[in-house]
Structure 1
């Protein structure tokens, strides 16, 4: 898909030197001051001026803090796209193929929620999202059509720039599909060392032969971290 038909996608992540994502497991910074790199990460997040950010199901479930609460009864639901709010200042986008995430409210930190779903999602779940004032986009097949979903986000919600912020499976899927324009990584001066956690990207079969990276920026941050930026070229 041509970039003009979808939002610009910037994959923005924090990583230890050994490629791990969870700062709670990192060794301390050289000066012993910083253990959680979220402040530096969020400050850079804001500089992109993005209209939306996107995470996977597991990450969004941690933020959504909801329990299942389908309406006792409901009428017909839109099984393509429901726009509850088209003029939000920013959007929080979730990948949730089967409709497993439930929300306590229609926004995350003030950013209106849009859920991307597969075709096998139940009418009851769509009715729950509608009743909660949450927008959604349903793909024509059981798996989420990432390219088409991005196109809908631009056409129906006016999203021009989207920050892709993991997890690893979501990042890998977008990269493998040739839908990422830039990679932005805050590398903490820390190690994780664990063997049971994912890194920045995970994709079955790997990404060799699918993308090329070209360094466009390297900035030294406080407490020994660095911010690396790369353009991403689909092969």
Structure 2
């Protein structure tokens, strides 16, 4: 396989939400801890080399909607991808086709995990943005002209960064896009024993016009376990 093995690992409420008020409940916090331990803990089940999220997820959790500090007079950077020097043994892969995220350093810290940032761009990203990434020591991959080329992205993650196991971590639109493209192999869901009934928060999978549709996808249950706080760990393989 000329790409990493991909598992989608997510925390949800009982009604399938991946964000919302339920996360601040005792059950939601326990579910969050279970989620983290399985993918990032000392004795983690998934020994992946990186995880991938969309632009909104990145802004919500790491860049907080800051504007990038661009030098519009920057010299033209070399064409193609850029692999920076890094010390981290895990990567945070951020989908950002136009290059708008306001990074100010080349790593993120998620609880006890420090990860090197890899930006995924298309040719829509400006020279000034790529110049900023180089100055910060942030690696980037060009994967497509005006729209994201998933297969090129995954091939480059495996070739350039030796990522054999990749975690897909939202949001719902990105999760569903990968699944509909046939590029996700496994789904792991920690279902917290709570819900908030919100109609305004995103769900585990969401179609978006121009990126995916609502064609059904079939799953095969591999395992289910009762975890702390009455949460459930569900593991599915995706039927091709």
Q: TM-score, normalised by structure 2?
A: 0.88
Larger deviation, residues 66-75 vs 166-175: 66-75
1:221, CA displacement in angstroms?
0.4
Aligned partner of 2:49 in structure 1 is 51
Please tell me whether the aligned partners of residues 11 and 183 of structure 1 are also in contact (alpha carbons under 8 angstroms): yes
Aligned partner of 2:198 in structure 1 is 194
Which digits, 9 at most, give the CA deviation of each residue in 1:17-75, with x for residues without a partner? 111112533595xxxx4342321110011320100011110111231345421236422
Q: Give the Cα separation in 2 of the matches to 1:39 and 1:118.
A: 35
Structure 2: unaligned runs, 5 residues or longer: none
Which digits, 9 at most, give the CA deviation of each residue in 1:143-193, with x for residues without a partner? 111111010000011111110010001101111110001000001111121
Aligned partner of 2:223 in structure 1 is 217
- Residues 78 and 192 from structure 1, CA distance in 2 versus in 1: closer, same or farther, beyond 3 angstroms? farther
Aligned partner of 2:146 in structure 1 is 142
Which digits, 9 at most, give the CA deviation of each residue in 1:87-140, with x for residues without a partner? 640000001111110212100122100011121111111111111100111123
Picking from 148, 151, 155, the partner of 2:155 is 151
1:77, CA displacement in angstroms?
1.6
Q: Give the Cα separation in 2 of the matches to 1:165 and 1:217.
A: 20
- Residues 15 and 141 from structure 1, CA distance in 2 versus in 1: closer, same or farther, beyond 3 angstroms? same
Q: Give the Cα separation in 1 of the matches to 2:24 and 2:137.
A: 42
* 1:17-96 pair list within 5 angstroms: 17-22=14-19, 24-25=21-22, 28=25, 33-36=26-29, 37-46=31-40, 47=44, 48-62=46-60, 63-65=62-64, 66-71=66-71, 73-85=73-85, 88-96=88-96
* 1:101-140 pair list within 5 angstroms: 101-109=101-109, 110-140=114-144
1:196, CA displacement in angstroms?
1.1
Please tell me whether the aligned partners of residues 86 and 156 of structure 1 are also in contact (alpha carbons under 8 angstroms): no
- Residues 191 and 122 from structure 1, CA distance in 2 versus in 1: closer, same or farther, beyond 3 angstroms? same
Alignment pair present for 1:206 and 2:200:
no
What is the aligned-residue RMSD (CA, Å)?
1.8
Structure 1: unaligned runs, 5 residues or longer: none
Q: Give the Cα separation in 1 of the matches to 2:75 and 2:24.
A: 53
Please tell me whether the aligned partners of residues 86 and 157 of structure 1 are also in contact (alpha carbons under 8 angstroms): no
